[in-house]
Amino acid sequence: MTKKIRISDLPDFDFSEHLDSETAIVEYLNAVLEEDDSALLAAALGDIARARGMAGIADVSGLTREALYKALRPNSKPRFDTIAKVCKALGVKLHVEPVLTH
């Protein structure tokens, strides 16, 4: 008989451990942007900031570490200027392109 595993017994998954290259970061952000979910975008930026070092991102962005953790936690709704500062500090840009409809 197979032992059942409870979700609560599984370890937490930290995506930041896998963001070890510019390519991984770009692919991750592009996948998140496809979801059209602002809270997911904030959480993804938080993952990237943790991978790069939250203190350094805070210094470059002009925000405090505490403000970054609060703004980039899952289900947060940060202001656009916060997203823009974090993106600039991370060295990434968000791009706009037309949606092709038939």
> What's the predicted TM-score (pTM) here?
0.81
Planar angle of CA 90, 95, 100, nearest 5 degrees? 150
The residue written with tokens 């930290």 in the block is: 14
Q: Give me the pLDDT at residue 36, please.
A: 87
Q: Give me the pLDDT at residue 1, please.
A: 67
Give the helix/strand (H/E) hosting 94. Answer: none
Please, what are the averages of pLDDT over each run of 10 residues along the chain (102 residues)?
77 82 92 90 93 94 94 89 94 86 75
Give the integer Cα–Cα distance in Å for 25 and 29.
Answer: 6
